[in-house]
Structure 1
């Protein structure tokens, strides 16, 4: 009797095809962290991020000088700011600002935006407020839990031109992501834009997780208690369009991080997107039987 041939298993997407070893590693990592530990990580999320910034202060993340290259809207190009119609100062809100690694370089470059900055970590916000480049302007930083209605207590509805979400949404439990995006939708002016970049599916950081760190599909806990979700293009698009946004751009971007000490080239995958709040949003409610 002829032996049945097994069809080779392939896994990946257009930006990365996984090796057989990587497929095996992901396939074997099926056991998830206990419900008790998952609840504890959720309850202590703020504490873990606060400890992160107390330990690293402003030293961990490099300043993001690349943002104006990737998002020309930050330079006022290729995008008609909604505030122009009213003569108001253009306003940018960064959600998950950390210690200001994106905002401060923009201020140094002479950006015309008034910056609002919020973060889950009180320590991160305090460090940003201490930065002389930030404190000398009319900018404002505040602590905010984006998974609640707290943002709407701090920022008026439809008052912001651009919202940036740079490596922020991945730290949120997947079931709470829609609430975050709905809050962002509420504070954006009609015609305003979200600039988004976060960890992509099968990024090397995802493949490095060992057993015992998986919370659920594509969602992991790091050693320090912070968490990370790895997005596909489709998941990001669905999240934002479900909240009422229109997709302008949404794609994987690939980069390489060179580890010179170990002599290896680490492939990085991110999802980078631009979403626009429509000028008019029509909601139709139908009565039963209509």
Structure 2
């Protein structure tokens, strides 16, 4: 119970909202975005990187600077937030989008010996780090359970071997046919079973997708298509687990005014960026991509910096979404 409270309700988000919106020093976070010469240059630079397929440069530099691994902590709490990752019966497949150095992948592999994780990142530097992390974990037969690959899902599609076009079409057609025939609750139909079998050309789709502090690194305008990509590789009934920065998180309030590049979007001096989500935005993005909302809430965590004696109010958004059957 203590862990559940720590990771969700240390304080009320509405109380924090009132505090922020009544503080004049935070007023620039609330105003409509008006581009300055700095922000225009930043956006232009970001767009240039994207069009040249070089958007990973900033994240390569980021992971190189933090290559020691001490910067990241293993996210063991995710197995409590998303227990399906360890309680799922039988073998299951996970696509971890934006795997970074492995702080999300590692607890998943430790918690479920029957799971297979496909992990991607736009940064080759991050993939080098995650391979080192997993190789040093001493997890039995990890080479059969962990498959990293490079992919920037915000500017390109996922590899066809995750779910090839025929498989995606079979998933869609079978789901539509079952609804037409009034068999929406049955999973014993032979056509349905056939559609979910692994084909010779791909892994047949995944059971879970994890988006853990990944979506916020994209410009808002690229998020809808990126989420649709995640939707396309999920099996019908599959789940997407989401956790990311929430509106009025301490990190947002620390950004100076000249770091704004859009409304609720900020760019750090190293070129990496962060978006801060409200619940309505998350709901619109995922429901708009075809997902069914199962869970959506703010996680409000009070963290204490013991060395400096400061209390920090962290806000994250927790979401669980399902691809309709």
- The match for 1:98 is 100
Contact 1:161/1:188 (CA < 8 Å) preserved in 2?
yes
Aligned pair 1:264/2:310, yes or no? yes
Identify unmatched segments of 5+ residues in structure 2.
1-12, 169-203
Change over 3 Å in CA distance of 1:250–1:137 after alignment to 2: same
Instruction: Specify whether residues 109 and 34 from structure 1 end up closer, same or farther in structure 2 by C-alpha distance, changes over 3 A only.
Output: closer
State the alpha-carbon separation in 2 of the partners of residues 256 and 36 from structure 1: 36
Structure 2 counterparts to residues 29-68 of structure 1, below 5 A: 31-32=34-35, 33-42=38-47, 43=49, 45-57=55-67, 58-68=69-79
Higher RCO (CA 8 Å, separation ≥ 6 residues): 2
Q: Tell me if the contact between 2:32 and 2:263 (Cα under 8 Å) persists in the aligned partners.
A: no
Could you list the runs of 5+ residues in structure 1 that have no partner in the other structure? 1-11, 280-290
1:29 positional shift: 8.9
**Contact 2:74/2:103 (8 A) holds in 1:** yes
Q: Secondary structure at the match of 1:275?
A: strand
Q: Given the alignment, which residue of 135, 149, 160 partners 1:153?
A: 160
Q: Does the 8 Å CA contact 1:45/1:226 hold for their aligned counterparts?
A: no
Distance 1:113 1:15, change over 3 A: farther
Corresponding residue for residue 8 of structure 2:
none
RMSD across aligned positions (CA): 2.1
Q: Deviations over 1:45-95 (max 9, x none)?
A: 311100011111123111101101111111126xxx7xx6xxxx3101100
Q: Which residue of 1 aligns with 2:209?
A: 163
CA contact (8 A) 2:39 2:260 kept: no
Structure 1 pair 28–146 and aligned structure 2 pair: CA distance change class (3 A): closer
Q: How far apart, in 2, do the equivalents of 1:197 and 1:124 lie?
A: 19
Q: TM-score, normalised by structure 1?
A: 0.82
The Cα shift of 1:14 comes to: 6.6
Total equivalences in the alignment? 259
- TM-score under structure 2 length normalisation: 0.74
After superposition, give the CA deviation of every residue in 1:140-178 in whole Å (9 maximum; x if it has no partner): 001101013331435214510000000000000111001
Point out the more displaced range, 146-155 or 108-117.
146-155
Query: Alpha-carbon deviations, 1:16-47, whole Å to 9, x = none?
Result: 32242354353579554432321213415311
For residues 82-110 of structure 1, the C-alpha deviation after alignment (integer angstroms, 9 at most, x for no partner) is xx6xxxx3101100000111111222234
CA separation of 1:99 and 1:160: change in aligned 2, threshold 3 A: same
Is 1:274 the counterpart of 2:279 in the alignment? Answer: no
CA-to-partner distance for each residue in 1:108-155, whole Å, 9 max, x for gaps?
234321000000101111221233147533320011010133314352
Higher helix share: 2
